[in-house]
Structure 1
Amino acid sequence: MVDRIVCYRAPTTVADVDAVVEWLRDRVDATVSIRDRFLETHRTDELPERFAESRVVSPYERETGNTMVGIVRYEERALEHPEREGGVLYDGVHVQRALNAALPDDERGLETAHIAVLDRAIGTWGDHDGRWHKRVNVLGQPAIVSVPGLYEAPAKPEEYYQEKQKHALLSGDAPPREVLENQVDGEFLIENDPRTTDALKGYVLQAYHYLETGEAFCENEGCRLFNAHYHEDLLEAQLREPAFCDEHAPLYDE
């Protein structure tokens, strides 16, 4: 049984983890505390190489990792100056193992749920289609919640990809993201979206719920515990009322 939750801030993002923690305290039967960035609080000498080993090198190759000296140096700089990191996809399960190893021995037990909100893009391999898929979270110990994943993992409206392809055919390169977002109808989250904090609340709760109950996600599309694959479903689950389905409302409604 989880009796303690530790959430970690992501200072290079717009995510207000302090606000998420306040929301969580009203809904769980556990002590909830907050710490600064996980990769600073639990920094180890091994982490740069572990992140280098976790790099996805191709969308269609299962094997990951590039531990050339220059790549490891990049990961060292990314730990020191996280605002400079970006554009890299990491194997979320491999990163989770690395972060678990960085936890103090006396905090690895499942009675303490560590939830690391990160500014890194993470993915998991899909055996069913032979490619990597970006994710918002990876459940377990510690749980990882990716802020970039909130914007990038769920699929956007079809028109978004049509406009992107049309622009590439005409100009030879991909259009700036803000151009697409202004041209395409439909709701979806964008980078630094002011709704980021509210949308993340359910993903953080999913991490606690998994360790507490063993249930990964809810299948009800209107519940904050739902694992949305499309932006419209994410917005429905995380930002619309009611917040929870009939099964989970007794557990987590205020």
Structure 2
Amino acid sequence: MLDRVTLYRAPTTAADADAVADWLDQRVPATVDVRDRFLADRDDDLAEAFAEARVLSPYDRETGNTMLGIVRYEERALDHPERAGGVIYDGLAVQDILRERLPADERSLDHLHVPLLDRVLGTWGDHDGRWHKRVNVLGQPALVSVPGLYEAPAKPEQYYKEKQRTAMVSGDTPPREVLEEQVEGEFLVEDDPRTTEAIKGYVLQVYHYLATGADFCATEGCRLANPHRQPGVIEAQLRDPEFCEAHAARYES
């Protein structure tokens, strides 16, 4: 039985782990607690492990670049995460990296660990031969990528049309902030004040998977749904009702 959940803060992001924990604690029978950043205390091999988990190309299944300069970058990213960015990591490989670093007496499936991460994670799609960014990676530990919340679900179609149009006119891609001001529609952006509220549902998803063995809900608008577009994320995580009828019986506070 899953009777304990530990969340780990991601202090360089807009996600408030304590608020997420309070929300989760009201909805599940497990004890919920919060710890500081999972990667705060790195060992000598951690930077190289992250270098090996790097996605090299959107269409290349092989990962990893352990050249000295890349490992040095990963060391700096661990020590100063606010300076990192622009890299996608194999989510399953990162899961393995962090699982090996769980306390030896806390690795059983009755104690779920949920690091909130400031890294962009992806999983390989055998069906289309490319990497796909993810908000969460189910399992133990369960990973929740805060930047994945902004980057993984596709934005409204007009966002990409405006990006292409501006690039054709100016010869360069406009800054993300400019596009966000020019495009109407609902989508989450970096450091969005709604980040914590949206992340709550993704944390509940990883709890639900380990507690029940079921993954995502097929009902649009349920907190346990896994929409592939930003408007669907808004609908599922920020609008009422929070849950479909089946999951409301289990998780409504």
* TM-score bracket relative to the smaller structure: over 0.9
- Do residues 106 (structure 1) and 114 (structure 2) align? no
The alpha carbon displacement at 1:45 in A equals: 2.1
Distance 2:106 2:75 in 1: 25
Residue 191 (1) aligns with residue 190 (2): yes
What corresponds to 1:21 in structure 2?
21
Pair 1:214 & 2:236 matched: no
Extract unaligned runs of 5+ from structure 2. none
Distance 1:184 1:245 in 2: 30
TM-score scaled by length of structure 1: 0.98
CA distance in 2, matches of 1:225, 1:44: 35
In the alignment, structure 1 segments of 5+ residues that lack a partner are: none
Q: 3-state SS of the aligned residue for 1:38?
A: coil
Distance 2:57 2:250 in 1: 41
Amino acid in structure 2 at the alignment position of 1:233: G
AA aligned opposite 1:220: T
Instruction: Give me the TM-score of the superposition, normalised by structure 2.
Output: 0.98
Give SS of 1:249's match: helix
Q: Does structure 2 retain, via aligned residues, the 8 Å contact 1:121–1:134?
A: yes
> 1:180-228 deviations in whole A, cap 9, x for unaligned?
1111111000111000000000000111111100011111111100011
**Structure-2 separation of matches of 1:163 and 1:135:** 24
Structure 2 CA distance for aligned equivalents of residues 218 and 37 of structure 1: 29
* Aligned-partner Cα distance in 1 for 2:229–2:43: 36
The residue aligned with 1:70 is 69
**Conserved 8 A contact 1:122-1:149:** yes
Does the aligned pair in 2 maintain the 1:9–1:36 contact within 8 Å? yes
**Which residue identity is paired with 2:235?**
E
Amino acid at match of 1:24: L
Q: For residue 151 of structure 1, what is the aligned residue in structure 2?
A: 150
Secondary structure class of the residue paired with 1:223: coil
**Residues in 1 aligned to 2:89 and 2:72: alpha-carbon distance in whole angstroms:** 16
Residues 160-199 of structure 1 aligned to structure 2 (within 5 Å): 160-199=159-198
Alignment of 1:77-116 (within 5 A): 77-116=76-115
Instruction: Establish whether residue 38 from structure 1 lines up as the match of residue 34 from structure 2.
Output: no
Deviations 1:38-84 (A, max 9, x none): 1115x332211110001011011010100001101111111111111
- Equivalent position SS for 2:246: coil
Identical positions, percent: 69
User: In the aligned structure 2, how far is the partner of 1:118 from the partner of 1:9?
Assistant: 8
CA distance in 2, matches of 1:234, 1:80: 32
Instruction: Tell me how far apart the structure 2 counterparts of residues 40 and 2 of structure 1 sit (CA, whole Å).
Output: 26
Q: List structure 1 segments (4+ residues) > 3 angstroms apart after TM superposition.
A: none
CA distance in 2, matches of 1:73, 1:55: 14
Task: Kindly provide the amino acid, as one letter, of the partner of residue 232 in structure 1.
Answer: P
Do the aligned residues in 2 keep the contact of 1:44 with 1:102 (CA within 8 Å)?
A: no
> In structure 2, what is the equivalent of residue 244 of structure 1?
243
SS in 2 for 1:15: coil
